Structure 1
Amino acid sequence: MSVESQTLFQLLDTNLMLKQPKGTWKWHSPLSAPFKVLGFPWLEQDRVYRRLPLPPNHALPEAVDKLADCTAGGQIRFKTDAQRVAIRVKLRGSASMDHMPATGQIGFDAYVGEPGQERYIGTSRMKPGEQQYESLLFEGDRPDRLRTVTLNFPLYQSVTEVMVGLPPEAALEANDFPSSRGRLVFYGTSITQGGCASRPGLAYPQQIGRRLQREVINLGFSGSGKGEEEVARVIRLIPHVDCFIVDYEANCSTELYGRTLEPFLRLYREEQRLVPILVVSRIPYAKEQVNSISRQDRMERKRIATELVRKLNEAGDDRVFFCDGDRLLGERYDECTVDGVHPNDLGFTRMAESLIPVISQILERCSSSIWR
């Protein structure tokens, strides 16, 4: 699309125009108090927005190591009476995917409200090809009291620097995120990472985290999380976990999934003896309507998972559970994806709404986590 066409569309509809920060701003690093950054377990140690340690304690597969720089699941939380909030971002790359909006790949989105009551309020916007940008997230009336603001990091790019812009006169305090609740750790695929949500807060792990008022650690690795032993040895070091959700089936062949799933779960369990584990089978793909081999392959992988969970339960581990991915998208699952595989926003919302009661029941049943 030409620059002239973009300008024409923006002239016809002002809602399509980029919203640049105007006026006077004070720019804050979220690495400083009173801001709280969530979603990066090794942030205090490494001081980088990265989902795995740098360097890792165990050598990681090259693709996983690179994808760990993507900031899916990260959050900035704070309280303010600011009537407007902006973001200044530097990225390692630009948006490059042809089937996922740039706002999901490299954008931040904003929510306001206390834990469990957050409501979406705005998304950062940028020009095509940009690797750094400033964007107004929202503006409105000045509230009569401080409100909690949550900013979700981009899903498919590395953020090398981010600054939060507030009016100079705005009050700023720390957000009291529930400290009595642990983390939800999601391990899986591009779908887990958030492909192809239109903005970060709509990825299904983030939706679940908001509803269950818990920090999310998103360890979805696009095409690359395959139940590797070295990855399990790193993930099991993450403390304060209330539930570990395993959803990597779609990254593997049936043979590889059958060969890796049990060792992966056993390695995690060696260090995290009481953390409940939920194994989720993959969602159906649209092509299964005309391709019986694809459907049969998914059924075989589901059999592998269900039999393993049953085996571990019978051996005495009653904190391993299974969720059938066939049911996550509901009827007309074919309308829930961008490309027949990756969910659109409807698909992610259906996944979250289906998984929330499952995870809630697990949390209630296994409430005596060892970290408390």
Structure 2
Amino acid sequence: MEEKKSSTLEQFDRNMRMNGTREEGLVWFDPKATPFRLGGFPWIGQDGVYRRMPLHPAEPLPQAVDWLADHTAGGHIRFRTDSRELHIRVKLKDRANMYHMAPTGQCGFDCYIGGPGEEKFAGTATLRPEEPEYTARLTSFKERELRSYTLYFPLYQGVQEVLIGLEEDAELLEPLPFAAERPVVLYGTSITQGGCASRPGMAYPNILGRGMKREMVNLGFSGSGKGEPEVARVIASIPDPACLVLDYEANCDGLERLQVTMPTFIRILREAHPEVPIVVITRIRPPKADWDAEFREAMLARRTYQLELVETLQREGDRFISAIDGYELLGEQYAESTVDGTHPTDLGFSLIAAALLPQLSPLLGTI
């Protein structure tokens, strides 16, 4: 019997093939240099690395937070160019290794075209999950035209090096300015970090950033948003934030941890930023709440505590604190909006962002 030849999907579907790159006629740029603008890395000016927390904080960070800070969730590169082709070369700290998250979301770069508030998805870097380095073409056009670009960093992996490849005769300019330069800072869990979006641009902080026309600083730490005071002090050191968002209930083992950490966390932020809006978001509704009564009651107790804490602080005179009921953010589609009962799909992140945008935007109207 004749042996059957093995086949691959790429053989039969050209849309599944890797986007190769070329070397000739390209110039490679380091996005840490002008005219590129980097966002999402508050300490890159002092440390020079793609990292979400300082390399040498004033006091030691929890081990998990220190490790996860190398994951580049929320980082982005902005610029303008008339290059007909845009390529990217990436060296990761490790390879894709998550069973429930697409390698493009964990380790890939996303490309959006358009100025602030007008960005449209244009492509994702193709990569092989088993390889920690890749080079890919993000866009290719027939006509030369000046375009605005935003490139989003991987959500669940560290980036040691990234280079942008443009045609050697292309014009390269600084990006159009945001509507406002003060960043929104979000502290939270794996959901804040972006698990499990299929690609970086679909994490809800990145969707919000496009809607708000602002830089977003994503300080979501997977499984490790526990409200430690030393983390609060590092976050409080970020200069001149437009808003501080706390969304870390899901990493608290019980009501007691919230009761211990949240008042202190808020106090530390408020002392550093007396008139900056602070927003507390309670946990999104997981399907498990439908059939596990004990789980549901414990979750609702944490929800009630947070909402009442904010009301208490308001009565005590804090005019700049508010709460958002996360239990309702996914609406009627909550049961179909996660990949594993906890972490949102792209649908879930889109629903979260759509619900948060009209509630957060008014807080930033005069800032």
Q: TM above 0.5, one fold?
A: yes
Q: Could you tell me whether the CA contact under 8 Å between 1:284 and 1:295 is conserved in 2?
A: no
In structure 2, distance between residues paired with 1:279 and 1:79: 36
Q: Which residue of 1 aligns with 2:168?
A: 168
Work out the CA distance in 2 between the residues paired with 1:79 and 1:263: 43
Equivalences for 1:285-304 in 2 at 5 Å?
A: 285-304=286-305
String of CA shifts for 1:146-174, please: whole Å, max 9, x gaps: 21111000000110000001111111011
Shift of 1:193: 0.1
Q: Secondary structure at the match of 1:258?
A: helix
After superposition, what is the alpha-carbon deviation per residue over 1:5-50, rounded to whole angstroms, capped at 9, x for unaligned? 6x52111111111111125221100011111111100111100000
Greater CA deviation, 355-364 or 98-107? 355-364
Partner of 2:12: 12
- Residue 114 of structure 1 is matched in structure 2 by 115
Aligned residue for 1:331, secondary structure, equals helix
CA distance in 1, matches of 2:56, 2:228: 17
- Secondary structure of the equivalent of 1:41? coil
- Output the CA distance in 2 between the equivalents of 1:180 and 1:216: 11
Query: Segments of 4+ in structure 1 off by > 6 A?
Result: none
User: How far, CA to CA, are the matches of 1:196 and 1:315 in structure 2?
Assistant: 39
5 Å matches for 1:93-242? 93-144=94-145, 146-178=146-178, 180-242=180-242
Q: Partner residue of 1:281? A: 282
- The offset of 1:293, in angstroms, is 1.3
| CA distance in structure 1 between the partners assigned to 2:290 and 2:140 by the alignment | 46
Q: Distance in 2 between matches of 1:128 and 1:211?
A: 31
Looking at structure 1, the residues matched to 126 and 240 of structure 2 have their Cα atoms a distance apart, in angstroms, of: 34
Greater Cα offset, 101-110 or 135-144: 135-144
SS in 2 for 1:241: coil
The one-letter code of the counterpart of 1:335 is: E
Q: SS at the partner of 1:310?
A: helix
Distance 1:62 1:301 in 2: 26
Counterpart amino acid of 1:276? P
Deviations 1:194-215 (A, max 9, x none): 0000000000000001110000
Q: Which residue of 2 aligns with 1:317?
A: 318
For residues 218 and 305 of structure 1, the distance between their equivalents in structure 2, rounded to whole angstroms, comes to: 21
Number of residue pairs matched?
Answer: 361
Task: Provide the residue aligned with 1:342 in structure 2.
Answer: 343
Normalised to the residue count of structure 1, the TM-score between the two structures is: 0.95
Identify the range of structure 1 (176-185 vs 220-229) with the bigger mean alpha-carbon deviation: 176-185
1:312 aligned counterpart, secondary structure: helix
Q: Which residue of 2 aligns with 1:333?
A: 334
Deviates more, 1:21-30 or 1:119-128: 21-30
Question: Any idea what the Cα deviations from partners look like across 1:60-104, whole Å, max 9, x if unmatched?
Answer: 101000100000000011100011111100011011100000000
Which secondary structure does the structure 2 equivalent of 1:255 belong to?
Answer: helix
Checking the alignment, whether the CA contact within 8 Å between 2:179 and 2:213 is kept in structure 1 is no
Structure 2 counterpart of 1:325, one-letter code: G
Q: Which amino acid aligns with 1:248?
A: Y
Deviation, structure 1 residue 142: 2.5
How far apart, CA to CA, are the structure 2 residues paired with 1:307 and 1:58? 31
Residue of structure 2 equivalent to 1:306? 307
Letter in 1 for 2:61: L
Work out whether 1:357 is the aligned partner of 2:323: no
Larger CA deviation: 250-259 vs 230-239: 250-259
Tell me which amino acid in the other structure corresponds to 1:299: L
Which residue of structure 2 lines up, in the alignment, with residue 26 of structure 1?
27
After superposition, the C-alpha distances for 1:99-133 in whole angstroms (9 at most, x for unaligned) are 00000000000000010000000000111211111
- Give, in whole Å, the separation in 2 of the partners of 1:11 and 1:349: 33
CA deviation after TM superposition for structure 1 residue 59, in Å: 1.1
In the TM superposition, what is the alpha-carbon distance from 1:179 to its structure 2 partner? 6.9
Q: Distance in 2 between matches of 1:352 and 1:56?
A: 31
Paired AA for residue 120 in structure 1: F
User: What is residue 270 of structure 2 aligned with on the other side?
Assistant: 269
Match in the other structure for 2:88: 87
1:142 partner SS = coil
Instruction: Return 5+ residue gaps in structure 2 as ranges.
Output: none
Q: How large is the RMSD of aligned CA atoms in angstroms?
A: 1.2
CA contact (8 A) 1:58 1:233 kept: no
Task: Summarize deviations over 1:298-321 as a string: whole Å, max 9, x none.
Answer: 110011101110111011001100
Q: What is the distance in 2 between the residues matched to 1:36 and 1:355? A: 26
- Whichever residue aligns with residue 231 of structure 1, its letter is V
Q: Which amino acid is 1:110 matched to? A: C
State the partner residue of 2:39: 38
The alpha-carbon deviation at position 139 of structure 1 amounts to 0.8
- Confirm or deny: 8 A CA contact 1:72 1:218 kept in the other structure: yes
Contact 2:95 2:107 in 1 (8 A): yes
Aligned sequence identity (%): 48
Q: Deviations over 1:324-354 (max 9, x none)?
A: 0111111021100000100000000000000
Calculate the TM-score normalised by the size of structure 2: 0.96
Q: Which letter maps to 2:292?
A: N
The answer to whether the 8 A contact 1:82-1:142 is kept is no
